[in-house]
Chain A
Amino acid sequence: MAPLLRTEDVHKRYGKEEVLRGVSMCLEPGETKVIIGPSGTGKSTLLRCINRLTEPDRGRIWLEEQEVTARKASINRLRADIGFVFQDFNLFTHLTSLENVRLGPLRVRRLGRPQANRTALEALAQVGLSDKTKSYPAELSGGQQQRVAIARALAMHPKLILFDEPTSALDPELIGEVLEVMVRLAKSGMTMLVVSHEMGFARSVADEIIFMEHGVIVEQGPPSRMFKAPTQARTGEFLRKISELYGEAD
């Protein structure tokens, strides 16, 4: 069976700076992979290239059999199948939670209003926010906003969801509720590609950890091996540093 997502030699440069220097990876259905690495090494750029919010300069990307990077790809249809959760939520400010979550099913999937409503309510229930359907983003905490954003992605019934540092903009006490939702999702079989520094999350749910630096994948493997016996010196160094920082020393 073909992998759900495959990238091949993806390159991206901004001006003089080469942010991605040939990234190849794949993701099987139901897998969760966590991308870690120092800031500025192209992790977020890679995610954005996958649904072409950023156009890669070179390389190819496939979602199942369809090539995302093909010139004639119907990018909007492909994006509808790829959920994206942003670091700073990006909920639509003028819409309530329900309207935020319902927009995709209603306007992109073109389900009827009753069905779009049902889908949206289900998604909000999945993130535990059934009681906040009428709240506007500004009336919600950061954690709640991010959960609505996850519901917005879920309501599209995507084939995979990309998470771009979903907890980095949150106060420490709000991170837990978001991670909890993500853990549940991963365990329910959602395919997820997550850029995150949450080592606890990576350790407990990731099928594989991908360590990136300077625009390339340095090493990847299951968390048990990556944490215990990384083959690359840099990986070990980075993991030690981040574990100290986040109090996850082992």
Chain B
Amino acid sequence: MSSRDQILARVRSALADVPRTEDPEDFPVPRDYERTRSGPDVVELLVDRLVDYKATVHEAPEVAAAVAEALVRHGARRIAAPSGIPAEWLGEAEAVRDDPPLRPAELDALDGVVTGCAVVIAETGTIVLDAGPDQGRRALTLVPDYHLCVVRRDQIVRTVPEALERLDPARPLTWISGPSATSDIELNRVEGVHGPRTLEVLITGEIASTG
């Protein structure tokens, strides 16, 4: 008997008390929690939460100008740019494409990365990336020390349940809430460990917020 079959057999005999006729869905799961709720404007809420976790936030009516300006302010010259990020956005900075895929050491030598995102959760200040064309593969937003993320208003939801509804589990997902941090020393939060130490968010787009 394989280990697989043995484990499954042990599971079944451990569950002898569960009626054989019970289907998994027969066991009730109360879902009285809120899927969404009312509250402050989602953009306002998002800004508050991002700032609380030490990200820099700007509201930017003009994307290209705002991206170029942020890069200059940050002194970032060579920038990883996923295929969906237009080179014009980067202004004077050089767009380094991930084609062929950049090696980790090459990524490490770049000044930063500019991406879009898939969904943003206002209540928790969380940006979710799904490796779409304007985000690229996961390493791009991990190795460079500076991440500039462009968020459209229509990508912002208020709660975690609303975000999961919009996401596709078949895609690799990265949830980002502020710059990298640790609470391992005396359980106090300190920003800046292995992931990007600077997270800058540009909120843009004329489309009215859906929150």
User: Is B truly associated with A?
Assistant: no
Interface residues of B (CB under 8 A from A): none
Interface residues of A (CB under 8 A from B): none
